[in-house]
């Protein structure tokens, strides 16, 4: 005995171009074979069947009965695949595109537009501006806290000039620079919205 798990042919509805149908076979654990129906780039629907023993369930039946069930299930699965309606598969796929994919894509575009709008309102500081700030704090007790641009995953950094070198601190690191090689990184990632503090 075996069961082709069609779930009332629900796979036709809103399939995403990839349909999976499992088969349970008496004498084996799990689902020892699976029918895959995929929509190719050409628009054609193509079939493949994976099969493995899934592990024998010896409490159900003996070996020969189990493997007869297995063979019968494989034949039945092939015959079942021949009955699949490609027009229904395609209709379900197109329905999925219209009701799921397109709304998700429109939502993604709206989110991207909002992020861009917020980033445009929080422009990155320029290399020239950072260089000018470094000259201002050189040899002073003034520190600058650079804040990452909106939607950035970077943490704020503090820059100060100590003992003839620039020191950059984050919440978990401290590094000294003898020159301004770090300026381009600040300009690429950080906002004009900085703060200056004097100890």
The tens digit of pLDDT for each residue in 185-194 reads 999 899 999 9
Please report, in angstroms and rounded to a whole number, the separation of the first and last CA atoms in the chain.
Answer: 82
Phi, psi angle pair for 155, to nearest 5°: -95, 160
Task: Report the distance separating Cα 39 and Cα 18, nearest Å.
Answer: 6
The secondary structure of residue 5, as a DSSP letter, is: -
Long-range contact list for 134-140, CB < 8 A, 24+ apart? 134/159, 134/161, 134/166, 134/180, 134/183, 137/161, 137/196, 140/198
Instruction: Give the three-state DSSP class for 100.
Output: helix
pLDDT at residue 93, as a whole number? 95
Percentage of residues of the chain with pLDDT beyond 70: 98
pLDDT at residue 51, as a whole number? 83
Per the prediction, the chain carries an average pLDDT of 92
What are the tens digits of pLDDT across the range 128-187? 999 999 999 999 999 999 999 999 989 999 999 989 999 999 988 899 999 999 999 999
pLDDT value at 199 more than 70: no
What are the tens digits of pLDDT across the range 105-132? 999 999 999 999 999 999 999 999 999 9
Q: Which residue has the tokens 């200056």?
A: 196
pLDDT at residue 133, as a whole number? 96
Task: Report the distance separating Cα 18 and Cα 74, nearest Å.
Answer: 20
Q: How many other CB atoms are there within 10 angstroms of residue 11's CB atom? A: 20
pLDDT value at 53 more than 70: no
């Amino acid at each position: 005995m075996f069961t082709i798990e069609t779930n009332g042919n629900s796979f036709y509805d809103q399939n995403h171009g990839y349909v999976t149908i499992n088969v349970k076979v008496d004498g084996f654990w799990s689902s020892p074979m699976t029918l895959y129906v995929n929509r190719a780039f050409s628009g054609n629907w193509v079939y493949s069947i994976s099969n493995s023993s899934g592990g024998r369930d010896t409490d159900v039946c003996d070996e020969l009965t189990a493997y007869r069930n297995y063979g019968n299930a494989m034949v039945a699965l092939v015959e079942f695949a021949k009955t699949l309606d490609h027009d229904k598969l395609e209709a379900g796929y197109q329905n999925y595109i219209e009701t799921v994919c397109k709304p998700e894509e429109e939502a993604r575009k709206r989110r991207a537009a909002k992020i861009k709008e917020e980033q445009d309102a929080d422009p990155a500081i320029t290399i020239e501006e950072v260089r000018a700030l470094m000259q201002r704090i050189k040899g002073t007790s003034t520190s600058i806290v650079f804040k990452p641009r909106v939607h950035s995953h970077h943490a704020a950094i503090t820059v100060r000039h100590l003992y003839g070198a620039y020191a950059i601190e984050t919440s978990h690191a401290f590094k000294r620079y003898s020159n301004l090689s770090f300026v381009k990184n600040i300009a690429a990632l950080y906002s004009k919205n900085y703060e200056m503090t004097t100890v």
